[in-house]
Structure 1
Amino acid sequence: MQRWRSKPRSRRVTSPTGRCLTTRSSPPRKGGILSDPAALLRSPATIRERCRNILAAVEAGQSRHFTLHRSQLDEVARRVEQVTRRQYPELRIPYHSRWRHFEAGGVNRRGELELLLEGRDAAEQAQAHIDLTVMSVLLDAGAGPDWRYDENGTSFTRSEGLGVATFRAFIAGAFSSDPLDPLRVDAEALQGVDEALLARVFQVRDDNPLVGLSGRATLMRRLGETLAAQPEVFGDDGRPGGLYDTLTQRGQLDRLPAPAVLQALLDHLGPIWLTGSSLQGTPLGDCWPHPAAGGSGLTAGWVPFHKLSQWLTYSLLEPFEWAGVTLTELDGLTGLPEYRNGGLLLDSRVIVPRDPSFAARTHTAADEAIVEWRALTVALIDELAPLVRERLHKKAEEMPLACILEGGTWAAGREIAKTLREGNPPLKIESDGTVF
C-alpha cells in the first residue's frame, strides 16, 4: 500500500476577539491529551451553556441571521411523535448510532460479524466493535447527493451507504496491518491510508463522486499517528479498541458515565481534527467563535459542538453494553447539530433566516450564521425532547435523548427533506469531510 502525507495546511481563523490567527494543521502531540486552557471547551455542559446563550440572544432579537418561532415547536413534536410511532410501533427504540446504518436494507451485518468473532472473549469482541465504530464514524461526514455504494446489487446512499461501505472494508481487513487478523483497525494501517484506498473502499469513480475524499484520508492518517503516539491508551498496536481497556480499567469497571466516554475521545483523539480552530496552540476541533457565546477568560466567545465526537460516543454505547458495561448519564450528551436535526428546525420554520436568499448561498462551518444555526439546534433539541416524551408517555429514563434522536428528530428531519428537496440538506455548506 502506497504511503504519503499531505503538507500541513495553514488557515486564517478569526478569534472571538476579532484577531486573525494563523493556525497550522500540525502533527499530533505525543500523548494526545489536550492541555488547559481548552479543557472547558471539551465539556458537554459548556456546549449546552454556550448554545443556550446564543438561543437567548436570538430570542431577544439580537441576531442578524435568524428569527425564532417557538410556537412551531409543538408541531415539530407532533411530527417527531408520528415518525417515531411509524418506525417503532412498540416504542422499543434503539440508540441513535452508527450501528443502525450497519442494519441498512434489513441485513443483519452485526450477526455476520459475530460469527467471524466467535471464539474471542468479551473484551476482544468489544475491541473489534470499537475499532469498527471509530473508523466508520470518522468516515461518516456527508457523502454528497451524487454518491452511492453497491452491495450485492443493492444501492445505498448517504449515511447508510457510508456505513455499509466501511463495514465491508473492515470485514476485508482494509484497516488492519495484520493479514492474520483482518477484523481490527490499527495505527500502522491507518497511517498508510490515501485517497486511492478510500476510493476503492467507497467505489468512487468519475460518475460516483464522494465529497471530502482527501479530507477523509488525511483524517485517517492523523488518527493513525494519534493512536501510535499513545500506547498507554491504545496499546502497542495503536487500536481504537484500546479504549475498552482504558475506560473499564481492563474490565474491572462495569458502569461508565456516557460523558466520560466523550471526554476520553476528546482528550485522546483531539489532535486529529483539521478545522483550523486552535487556542494557544491546542487544536479545538469542532469549536467556533460567535459573539453571543458568552463565557470568560481565554475561552470567551467560543462555542463547542464536537458533533462527530458525540456521534461517535452515541455509537459506542452499544459496544460497551454488549460487553456487559452499563452506560449512565446518557442525557449528559447533547443533540447533534447537523443537517437532519438542524434541517428539521429550519424546514419546520422554528428557525427562520432573515435573508430569503440564505439557503441559496454556499457557507462554511466557520460562518457566524452556521455556528448560530447549529447552536440553536442543540438548545432547541433540548426543549423539544420533553415535548416528544410527553406525547409518547415516556419518562426521561425510559427514553433518553439518544432514543429521541433515533426515533425521532433525525428521521423526521430526513423525511421532511425528502418531501421538500429530494432528501438534500437545507443549506449548502462547504465540507472537507471532517465536520459535516
Structure 2
Amino acid sequence: MSELIAYLKSPAAIRERCDRIFQLCCEGKCHFRVDLTQLDKVADYVIEVMRDEYPDFNIPFHSRWRHFEVGNVSRIAELDDTLAELNPFEKAQVKFDLAITSVLLDAGAGANWQYRERETGRVFRRSEGLAVASFRMFYKGAFSSNLKLPLQADADGLQNLTKQTLAEGFQVSSENPLVGVEGRVNLLQKLGQVLCQHPQFFGNKNPRPGNLVNYLLSQSFDGKLKASTVLKTILTGLGDIWPGRIVLAGENLGDVWVHPALPKDDQYIPFHKLSQWLTYSLLEPLQELGLEIIGLEELTGLPEYRNGGLCLDLGLLQAHSDVFQKCHAVDSKVIVEWRALTVCLLDKIAEIIRQKFNLSAAELPLVKVLQGGTWSAGRKIAAELREGGVPPIQIESDGTVF
C-alpha cells in the first residue's frame, strides 16, 4: 500500500494512468472521442497565440507570478521594493508565502465575480482577479499573526482566517458572488494546521510555508534541484489540506479519482493539478536564489478547464451533446475522463509545436507551452465561442480542484 501511495504521488503515475483512459477512449469506452487529425490545427492555433503573446519567443514559466503582472502593473517590482532590506533567502521565504496562499485561492471564481483593485482602479476577473485580490490581501497582512511582520503567512494567521475576512478581501457580495468561498477558507485554515504538523518542512518556530525554502535547499545537489522533488515535497507536506476524498492507509490522496472501467488495482487516476501549478509557481523564487531547476519535463500539463476546453473547442476532443447539457461533479466519469485526456493531449500538442520549431523538450518545456500557450489559447477560443468565456463543460466546483 505504501508503494502504491508513493507511486500515485509521482508525475509518472499521472501520465501512465491518464494514458489508460486514453486507451479506453480509443476503444470507444468513454464519453469522448479523440480526433488526432485535428492535432496540427490545434498546434497552429496555439502557435498563433504564442506569437501574439511573446513575439520574441522569450516565454516564461506558467506560474502564479504571471497573474501578478496583469494589466501591465508591475506588482512584483512593488513587492521587491518593499523587500529591499531583506536578504535573498528572506525574500524567497516571503515569495513562497505569497505564492502558496495565492495558488490555494486560485480555484475557479465563476463567471459573475470580479475584483476592483483600489490601487489602480482596474477591474479583473477569474484567475487574474483572484491573483490580484490575494496579492493585496497578503500585502495588507491578512495571513500573518504578527502586525510587525505583515508580509508573511504563518500558522496562527491562517488558522484564524475567517470567512468574513476572505469575503471582504475578495469583495464578495450578493451582487458579486465568488464560487467556493467556504472551501477556500477551509483550505487556508487547514494549511495553518498542517504547517504545525510537519516541522521538517515548515519549521518549529513560527511555522510558515516560506520555511520550505530551507528544506528544498537541503535537497539540492551541486546547485541543482529536481522539479519532481518540489512536487513530492508539496504532495507530502501539504497533502492533508485537501478535503477528504480517497484515503489509503490513513493518507489523504488529494487530487486522485477513480474510474470504474479500469481494473480494480488500476482505478486510481492522479492529477495533482493545484499541486503541480504550485510547484511551477515556486520554481522562480528558487531560481532567484541561484538554483538550477532540472527535470522539468517530468511534470505534466495541468488538467483544468482552459487546457481541456481548448481540445474540445477545436475538435481534438469530441463528446455527445448530453455532456454539454448538464453540470458535472468533479468525481464524475465525464470530468475524470476529460481531465485525463487533457493531460495526454497536452503532451501531444507540445510535441507537434516543438517539431514545427525544431526545438527540444529542454529548449521548449511543457511549462512554457502551457504559458505561451495552451492556457491562453483555451481562454481565447472560449471567449470567441461563448458569452463570458465560460468552459464548454460545466463543473460543480467546491473551490479546491479547479
* Partner residue, 2:212: 243
Separation in 1 of the partners of 2:196 and 2:44? 48
Confirm or deny: 8 A CA contact 2:273 2:303 kept in the other structure.
Answer: yes
Give the counterpart of 2:140 among 172, 178, 194.
Answer: 172
Give the counterpart of 2:27 among 50, 60, 66.
Answer: 60
Which TM-score applies when normalising by structure 1?
0.89
Does structure 1 residue 273 correspond to structure 2 residue 242?
A: yes
Give the counterpart of 1:313 among 275, 279, 295.
Answer: 279
Confirm or deny: 8 A CA contact 1:275 1:286 kept in the other structure.
Answer: no
| Paired AA for residue 10 in structure 2 | S
Does structure 1 residue 211 correspond to structure 2 residue 144?
A: no
Instruction: Quote the offset at 1:225 in angstroms.
Output: 0.2
* Partner residue, 2:13: 46
RMSD: 1.5
Per-residue Cα deviation, 1:50-69 (whole angstroms, up to 9, x for no partner)? 00111011112222x11111
* Partner residue, 2:310: 344
Q: What pairs up with 1:40-189 in 2 under 5 angstroms?
A: 40-63=7-30, 65-151=31-117, 152-189=120-157
Change beyond 3 A, Cα 1:379–1:435: same
Does structure 1 residue 360 correspond to structure 2 residue 288?
A: no
Change beyond 3 A, Cα 1:295–1:385: farther
* Partner residue, 1:29: none
* Partner residue, 1:400: 365
Separation in 1 of the partners of 2:267 and 2:19? 13
Instruction: Quote the offset at 1:254 in angstroms.
Output: 2.3
Instruction: Quote the offset at 1:398 in angstroms.
Output: 1.2
* Partner residue, 1:376: 341
Instruction: Quote the offset at 1:139 in angstroms.
Output: 0.3
Per-residue Cα deviation, 1:371-395 (whole angstroms, up to 9, x for no partner)? 0110000011111111112223422
* Partner residue, 1:282: 251
Confirm or deny: 8 A CA contact 2:196 2:207 kept in the other structure.
Answer: yes
Which sections of structure 2, spanning at least 5 residues, go unmatched? Answer: none
Instruction: Quote the offset at 1:275 in angstroms.
Output: 4.8
Q: Secondary structure at the match of 2:238?
A: helix
Change beyond 3 A, Cα 1:332–1:294: farther
| Paired AA for residue 414 in structure 1 | R
Confirm or deny: 8 A CA contact 1:361 1:428 kept in the other structure.
Answer: yes
Confirm or deny: 8 A CA contact 2:219 2:225 kept in the other structure.
Answer: no
Tell me how many residue pairs correspond in the alignment: 398
Give the counterpart of 2:166 among 179, 184, 198.
Answer: 198
Q: What's the % identity of the aligned pairs?
A: 49
Instruction: Quote the offset at 1:109 in angstroms.
Output: 0.5
Instruction: Quote the offset at 1:37 in angstroms.
Output: 4.3
* Partner residue, 1:24: none
Which TM-score applies when normalising by structure 2?
0.96
Change beyond 3 A, Cα 1:251–1:384: closer
Q: Secondary structure at the match of 1:357?
A: helix
Confirm or deny: 8 A CA contact 2:88 2:289 kept in the other structure.
Answer: yes
Per-residue Cα deviation, 1:287-335 (whole angstroms, up to 9, x for no partner)? 0001355584xxx210000000000011111111111111111111100
Confirm or deny: 8 A CA contact 1:231 1:237 kept in the other structure.
Answer: no
Which sections of structure 1, spanning at least 5 residues, go unmatched? Answer: 1-33
* Partner residue, 2:386: 421
Separation in 2 of the partners of 1:74 and 1:226? 45
Confirm or deny: 8 A CA contact 2:100 2:209 kept in the other structure.
Answer: yes
Separation in 1 of the partners of 2:244 and 2:145? 28
Confirm or deny: 8 A CA contact 2:14 2:270 kept in the other structure.
Answer: yes
Confirm or deny: 8 A CA contact 1:176 1:184 kept in the other structure.
Answer: yes
Does structure 1 residue 329 correspond to structure 2 residue 295?
A: yes
Per-residue Cα deviation, 1:126-160 (whole angstroms, up to 9, x for no partner)? 10011100000000000000000001321000000
Confirm or deny: 8 A CA contact 1:53 1:292 kept in the other structure.
Answer: no
Per-residue Cα deviation, 1:390-435 (whole angstroms, up to 9, x for no partner)? 2234221111100000000001000000001131111111111000
| Paired AA for residue 176 in structure 1 | S
Change beyond 3 A, Cα 1:408–1:294: farther
Change beyond 3 A, Cα 1:293–1:194: farther
Separation in 2 of the partners of 1:344 and 1:124? 39
Confirm or deny: 8 A CA contact 2:323 2:334 kept in the other structure.
Answer: no
Separation in 1 of the partners of 2:392 and 2:167? 27
* Partner residue, 1:385: 350
| Paired AA for residue 361 in structure 1 | K
Q: Secondary structure at the match of 1:256?
A: strand
Separation in 2 of the partners of 1:224 and 1:133? 15
Q: Secondary structure at the match of 2:209?
A: coil
Separation in 1 of the partners of 2:299 and 2:243? 23
* Partner residue, 1:10: none
Confirm or deny: 8 A CA contact 1:245 1:251 kept in the other structure.
Answer: no
| Paired AA for residue 173 in structure 1 | G
Change beyond 3 A, Cα 1:333–1:231: same
Q: Secondary structure at the match of 1:140?
A: coil
Structure that is richer in helix per residue: 2
Change beyond 3 A, Cα 1:329–1:128: same
Change beyond 3 A, Cα 1:85–1:238: same
Instruction: Quote the offset at 1:255 in angstroms.
Output: 1.1
